[in-house]
Amino acid sequence: MIVVDINPVAASIGPLSIRWYGLMYVVGIAAGLLVAFPYARSRGLSQIQLEKVVIWSVPVGLVGARLYYVLQQPLGQYVAEPWRIMALWEGGMAFYGAIFAVVLVLLVAGWRLKMSIAKLLDVAALFGVVGQFFGRIGNFINGDVIGYPTGLPWGVVYANPGSFPPRHDIAYHPAAAYEALVNVALFGLLWPLRKRLEAGTLFFLYVVGYSVGQVIVFFWRDNVVVFLGLKQAQLTAIVVLAAATAAFVALSRLRRSLPPA
């Protein structure tokens, strides 16, 4: 087994604590932009317009991810202590919430700024797959995304008392690491195809790949089973997978029916 004894608090300045989880989000956003912006420019999107989109999509995505997570939890704790709704340092971000929120932002921004929504979605896919990888590193340090107890050689003991697992003396499936590996695999798929596919296809591949990864990983991730042996994230993934596939097929047929430009 692997013992991880990392304090989730990277540094303290008086009463202010700087956590690895938050730092990894900053790194993830920066890395995502470094990858996505050059790609966006290569697809003919304006730098000025992109900056306007980012100003809205990043904070809306973070809020969407947090609120979607909160809505899936017992709400009594948040009614009693409303400030905890945005207590990001505790962990707890449901990435589907970010996807739903950012897609809405891109639809509005693309329409108002007269940008290709399909190209914006492809840019968002590359940004998301890179940024989320670093977010999973933050989850791993926090110990807030874990699997079931395991005796496998790669089981992780989160030994630091400041981390979030129920116990600090047994090994768990490192679910955050599994999800990070899904991001690596998705990036390995998307990056070589980024300039070969019709606009919008990259985003659909990302959504489908991420959804398949969620269905698989959550068989080992420790969450409440809600229906037919499946967990909330798996049910959401199946619905998103079906919706994304149907939308892609419909758009492909529409494109074929249109006369050449």
In a domain, 243, yes or no: no
CA distance 165 to 158: 7
> Domains in the chain: how many in total?
1
Please write the tens of the pLDDT for every residue from 219-233: 999 888 888 889 988
CB-based burial label for 228 (10 Å; 0-12, 13-18, 19+): exposed
Spell 238-255 as b/e; 16+ CB within 10 A means b.
eebbeebeeebeeeeeee
Answer whether residue 180 is part of any domain: yes
- What percent of the chain is helix, strand and coil (3-state, nearest 5)? 65, 10, 25
What tokens does 135 get?
Answer: 């977010």
Residue 223 lies in a domain: no
pLDDT recorded at residue 259: 57
Does residue 76 lie within any of the structural domains? yes
Contact (Cβ atoms closer than 8 angstroms) between residue 94 and residue 232? no
Specify if 199 maps to a domain. Answer: no
Whether 47 is covered by a domain: the verdict is yes
Residue 118 lies in a domain: yes
Whole-angstrom Cα distance, residue 114 to residue 219? 42
- Do the domain assignments include residue 56? yes
Domain residue limits at 112: 2-189
What are the average pLDDT values for consecutive 10-residue runs of the chain, which has 261 residues?
93 87 92 94 89 91 85 75 73 80 92 90 95 93 93 96 93 96 96 91 94 94 87 91 88 66 48
Write down the pLDDT at residue 150: 96
pLDDT tens readout for residues 31-62? 999 999 999 999 999 888 889 999 999 899 98
C-alpha torsion angle, residues 133, 108, 197, 94 (rounded to 10): 30
